[in-house]
């Protein structure tokens, strides 16, 4: 793999973010010349800023990771922003990359694009089998429009665009912000604080019966880099592990990993989100040899250890 990336110029949007840092590290290790446009210098919603980023990077490959994301609460509170920002960033970036002569464009979408009641396991052919879960539909549909754009550009212009659909990610460096975090960092934070304060109960959203599939962030980065190197098809590709767990099971795993021995109370007035998520990962395995390698317990241990080492975690535990 290193030979194919040696000295190749790669623009990675969102390269300073949670997933982006792992993708950049893998590309750096393979000898690529990576350019990460920072939002304070390049507003990717602005056409001229996108053109500058492409010109400054001299990109041969673009990997588009930048996104406005959050948990159920953030999606519910900001549907307009989540739709507009995610749609316009991707649409403008792909168009300008085409005009600039970029050789390959990698779009990283979202499992939120799948229909709310897609058959299990989720197969790429079922992306259009219904409407997404309502609380994150604006985000999911904005990302899915980039699949349509990429397929249209491949058909009309011969532009080599691929579309990857990762399942829920977790790992060191994730956002643990109370307002915007996803389920694993949110639960880790709550359990660490409860353990530190001696609380006997933690309140969680929903019923605990919804299921999710979780992919360790560095495994996702490996899959993205492999696909960028070897995949050349208009068809989208799932990146996942092929195993789901309920949120109740997840909560018990996190309690054990953090030392929290109390109980969970479920606030049923809050939404569960999509009822179930589990991916068919056979296309990624067959097309470019990707299989997730990190056992969930190991990835969770690393994530908890990373969070506990952060000043914010120490401060929160002390305040509790």
Task: For residues 91-98, give the mean pLDDT.
Answer: 98
| pLDDT number for residue 179 | 72
pLDDT at 317 over 60: no
Q: Please give the torsion angle defined by the CA atoms of residues 270, 118, 222 and 13, in that order, rounded to the nearest 10 degrees.
A: -70
Query: Does 139 qualify as catalytic in the annotation?
Result: yes
Q: Give me 146's structure tokens.
A: 């980039």
Spatial distance between the Cα atoms of 189 and 193, rounded to a whole number of angstroms: 6
pLDDT tens-digit map of 153-162 = 999 999 999 9
Q: Which CATH number fits domain 2-319: 3.40.50.720, 3.30.1490.70, 3.40.50.2300, 3.10.290.10?
A: 3.40.50.720
Sorting pLDDT into bands at 50, 70 and 90, what band is 2? low
Catalytic residue among 42, 114, 139, 153: 139
pLDDT tens-digit map of 236-257 = 999 999 999 999 999 999 999 9
Task: For residues 285-311, give the mean pLDDT.
Answer: 97
Task: For residues 276-299, give the mean pLDDT.
Answer: 97
Mean pLDDT of the chain: 94
Spatial distance between the Cα atoms of 262 and 202, rounded to a whole number of angstroms: 8
Question: Global pTM?
Answer: 0.93
Sorting pLDDT into bands at 50, 70 and 90, what band is 315? low
| pLDDT number for residue 271 | 86
Neighbours of 29 (CB within 10 A): 12
* Residue that wins the pLDDT comparison between 179 and 144: 144
Spatial distance between the Cα atoms of 278 and 286, rounded to a whole number of angstroms: 18
Q: What are the φ and ψ backbone dihedral angles of 245, each rounded to 5 degrees?
A: -145, 150
| pLDDT number for residue 121 | 95
pLDDT tens-digit map of 189-211 = 999 999 999 999 999 999 999 99
pLDDT at 316 over 70: no
| pLDDT number for residue 70 | 77
What's the per-residue H, E or C state across the chain? Answer: CHHHHCCCEEEEECCCCHHHHHHHHHHHHCCCEEECCCCCCCCCCCHHHHHHHHHHHCCCEEEECCCCCCCHHHHHHCHHHHHHHHHHHHHHHHHHHHHCCCCEEEEECCHHHCECCCCCCECHHHCCCCCECHHHHHHHHHHHHHHHHHHHHHHHHCCEEEEEEECEEECCCCCCCCCCCCHHHHHHHHHHHHHHHCCCEEEEECCCCCEECEEEHHHHHHHHHHHHHHCCCCCCEEECCCCCEEHHHHHHHHHHHHCCCCEEEEECCCCCCCCCCCECCHHHHHHHCCCCCCCHHHHHHHHHHHHHCCHHHHHHHHHC
* 121 upstream amide cis, omega within 30 of 0: yes
Alpha-carbon Rg of the chain, whole angstroms? 19
pLDDT tens-digit map of 16-48 = 999 999 999 999 999 999 999 999 999 999 999
Domain boundaries, the chain: 2-319
What is the sign of the dihedral through the CA atoms of 247, 250, 255 and 261?
positive
């Amino acid at each position: 793999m290193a030979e194919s990336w040696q000295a190749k110029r790669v623009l990675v949007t969102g390269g300073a973010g949670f997933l982006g840092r792992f993708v950049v590290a893998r590309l750096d290790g393979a000898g690529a010349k990576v350019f990460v446009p920072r939002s304070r210098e390049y507003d990717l919603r602005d056409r001229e800023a996108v053109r500058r980023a492409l010109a400054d990077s001299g990109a041969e490959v673009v990997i588009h990771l930048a996104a406005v994301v959050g948990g159920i609460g953030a999606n519910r509170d900001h549907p307009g922003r989540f739709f507009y920002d995610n749609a316009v960033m991707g649409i403008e970036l792909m168009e300008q990359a085409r005009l600039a002569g970029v050789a390959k464009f990698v779009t990283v979408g979202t499992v939120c694009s799948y229909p709310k009641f897609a058959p299990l396991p989720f197969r790429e052919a079922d992306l259009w089998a219904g409407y997404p879960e309502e609380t994150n539909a604006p985000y999911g549909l904005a990302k899915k429009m980039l699949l349509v754009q990429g397929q249209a550009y491949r058909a009309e212009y011969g532009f080599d665009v691929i579309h990857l659909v990762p399942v829920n990610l977790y790992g060191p460096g994730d956002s643990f912000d109370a307002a915007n975090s996803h389920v694993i960092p949110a639960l880790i934070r709550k359990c660490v604080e409860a353990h530190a304060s001696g609380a006997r109960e933690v309140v969680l959203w929903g019923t605990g019966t919804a299921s999710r599939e979780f992919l360790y962030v560095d495994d996702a980065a490996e899959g993205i880099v492999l696909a960028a190197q070897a995949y050349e098809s208009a068809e989208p590709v799932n990146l996942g592990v092929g195993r789901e767990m309920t949120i109740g099971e997840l909560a018990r795993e996190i309690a054990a990993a953090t030392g929290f021995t109390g109980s969970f109370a479920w606030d049923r007035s809050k939404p569960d989100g999509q009822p179930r998520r589990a991916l068919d990962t056979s296309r990624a395995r067959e097309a470019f040899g990707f299989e997730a390698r990190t056992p969930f317990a190991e990835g969770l241990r690393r994530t908890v250890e990373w969070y506990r080492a952060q000043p914010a975690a120490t401060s929160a535990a002390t305040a509790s």
